[in-house]
Structure 1
């Protein structure tokens, strides 16, 4: 049965190639495009062959300039056969793009992935060969917006497709325009957990390529040997102007949306948000102090979420030299002192770079809680001291940690 289906698929692919070749070679086969678009209605699972066919057809039409329709203000609409044919081709192109985006939501996974790739390839072709005459760099941001609207689904997880989309976010123009588009359409007042997950994953992919900070941007201007990857670059036309400041501004706006959502109700989205904050966004934050509440609240969640939150606190101290109060001033001094001592012991066995971050956290605690300085130097300590050695029992700590892990595993 599988062999029969494979042979049938090959036969359909060959027929579609022939139809595409006939159409591209002669206008007398113009109806072949309409036939191909109608075949989407007959299919319900695998659209791969149809998607590849419309990609070939319309990429070639864009290269030829057959879809270009110059509109001159105050001039009557041209109704000549050539102009009418061009308008009809434009309608077919829009219909093909709509079909392509529909296939991103339905069918088997391989077909959905191909639909996303085809939509991006047509975006690239339109960027290089615009539908209207242009002299400067052109990026079809409306097409990217339509793709994002599909990927930001509230009911279907788009994790696999967003992961595939990362191969396009490596291009600087896609990153810059993508962040701009996402910042304009991403906000929802009460999003579903699936929407939040899709949104955070898409934002993560847009930030996969590092956005230079001000210092790195200046260094890059001095060392401009490596040229940035640009999806819609055209040889002989003006180059794309990449603006890290604009990217950082849009990234902050996108993160601001996520901060307004109730992430605690969705552990998966909560974990994804913290990962995004710690791994991508921390150096880009314009107002890093706004992340302190989220990080401190996440410390009580337990498990990997608390570990990520603690890492975020350390990053705030290390990168932004912030005075993060993990424990409020109203907490007992002994509790804060116990935490400080535990962190100090951890710093003794940590790697040098981790120990540096832990020491900065300890310095922060000492500033916020001056009474802790007695742990370092106490003038009123009796001589000889009351304790000749360290009273802590390592085996007991290990036992308590092991017991705590057992309880967490039982809950999960």
Structure 2
């Protein structure tokens, strides 16, 4: 069977008029044998690619363009054969589209690769220069035409399906290295996603497949990097340069073409890239896809957009959602605030609200504190605001894991270094008499949870009275069971220094690494065998449990 397919393919490559052989290949592509199906896919790719190369000029009648209209009236024998081949080409595309959803991964990969190769061949056939030459420059003229219709058929079949198409998507991704292929794919995907959004007919599988392709797109950063095209300059040279338009209308037309239609323009690439992502973000994103989008949006999307401020609504909605989504949205908001001067009301209040005891157990805890340290690095912040964050971190350290305690102490130290007016939180005596809201002295009592004037449930940072309190919680850490935590309080002795503490080493700590440090410390002494020693914590618990039972 395999030899039969190869022989049919060789005959078709020498004679383009035997349409019956193409029908036989199409029938064999429906076989239950995956190897036969894969071989038939290869034959269809080779045959149709060869037939598409025969469209060398207006005199040729063998046109296989899938979106050409067919009129059967008054056709010659050659034209009827061309119409027959065109119909078989459309049937072959339908068959390859179905094979992209095949349960066999090798068949999926072969079908997707064959369709992309046919898109390339059809684009080359459409973009060949005409025989008529320009009288002015004596250069062949052509009008670049990408096979958008065929590409759309491929994408619609690939995206809007519930089947597992990971292998087929990976085959399409390989062709994204071609600049004009990537440009047309973004334009086509933008139209498909916009139609889905307007019709409210998108599915979670459709959204996930769209994100799989968009995530794989590597955008060029400069126009000089746009050098790879399906049609080379020799076979399809650009249109002859025209004289510079004197009217403003001509200049505006050239500018519109540059922004929207020229695949060799970096501005046009960014335009279609931005449009595609904005259309994608208007779709109802499942939580799993939303998390992956927020993980990549600040590195792979925003730097390539013409106007990243268009993402303000999306990022602020994600920031207001709470939980891990809010933590991930901080990356994009940081770029908008830092580089695009976004004025976000109540930003610090919401950042303050995210500091909950569960934060230290989140997967993205290190990323959050890294960004929070940047947001609080300005020396122009109000003293009451800085004091609120320092007090919140101090309170969280009471229930935080050992690694979280180290982060809290390091961040508090940096806050006090940047804002000397908040050092009173450390140096305030526990017997100091404070004023209440009416200006009267409060009774002098030892500072504790009950007597602390700090209001942790107050959302307004100016009313939580953190600046009237003190960081008595850090005193409790002096007796922490992990030596690294109790020793970290020595950092507070350097609050008068100008140099800030590098937070990165503290963000990399974990419970295991801290315990390993304790075991490897020189001060650690293991009890000797046969020598009396203090019962371990585990032994004490076992004894208490035995007494209870």
TM-score by length of 2: 0.56
Q: Deviations over 1:235-275 (max 9, x none)?
A: 23225742333333333333333433443xx3321222223
Q: Deviation of residue 194 (structure 1)? A: 1.4
More helix per residue: 1 or 2? 1
Task: Answer yes or no: is 1:91 the counterpart of 2:87.
Answer: yes
| Alignment counterpart, residue 289 of structure 2, candidates 235, 254, 269 | 269
Aligned twin of 2:3 = 14
Write the distance in 2 (CA, Å) between the matches of 1:147 and 1:173. Answer: 16
Aligned twin of 2:385 = 372
From the superposition, tell whether residues 114 and 319 of structure 1 become closer, same or farther in structure 2 (CA, over 3 Å): farther
Q: Is the 8 A contact 1:190 1:261 kept in 2?
A: no
Q: 1:115-126 counterparts in 2 under 5 A? A: 115-126=111-122
Task: Answer yes or no: is 1:236 the counterpart of 2:245.
Answer: no
RMSD value over aligned CA atoms?
4.1
Aligned twin of 1:346 = none
Q: Deviations over 1:39-62 (max 9, x none)?
A: 233447452111100111111111
Q: Deviation of residue 288 (structure 1)? A: 3.6
Write the distance in 2 (CA, Å) between the matches of 1:25 and 1:382. Answer: 89
Q: How many residues align?
A: 356
Q: Deviation of residue 307 (structure 1)? A: 5.1
Aligned twin of 1:153 = 160
- Structure 1 unaligned segments of length 5 or more: list them: 1-11, 344-349, 404-412
Aligned twin of 1:100 = 96
- Greater mean deviation of Cα atoms: 113-122 or 150-159: 150-159
Q: 1:6-405 counterparts in 2 under 5 A? A: 12-26=1-15, 29-43=18-32, 45-46=34-35, 47-65=37-55, 67-68=62-63, 78-130=74-126, 135-187=142-194, 188=196, 189-205=200-216, 208-212=217-221, 217=222, 220=223, 224=224, 228-233=227-232, 235-239=234-238, 241-263=263-285, 266-283=286-303, 284=305, 285-297=308-320, 300-302=322-324, 308-324=328-344, 327=347, 329=349, 335=352, 360-363=374-377, 367=381, 371-373=384-386, 376-378=419-421, 381=424, 385-386=428-429, 392=474, 393=477, 395=485
Equivalent residue of 1:287, what SS?
helix
Relative contact order higher in (CA < 8 Å, ≥ 6 apart): 1
- Structure 2 unaligned segments of length 5 or more: list them: 56-60, 66-70, 131-141, 239-261, 361-365, 388-415, 431-469, 478-483, 489-505, 513-549
Q: Deviations over 1:170-204 (max 9, x none)?
A: 11111211111111111332532212111111222
Q: Deviations over 1:333-374 (max 9, x none)?
A: xx56979xx99xxxxxx99xx97x65541157965x663256
Write the distance in 2 (CA, Å) between the matches of 1:395 and 1:317. Answer: 34
Write the distance in 2 (CA, Å) between the matches of 1:389 and 1:328. Answer: 21
Q: Deviation of residue 287 (structure 1)? A: 1.9
Say which one has the larger Rg.
2
Write the distance in 1 (CA, Å) between the matches of 2:278 and 2:353. Answer: 31
Q: Is the 8 A contact 1:104 1:113 kept in 2?
A: yes
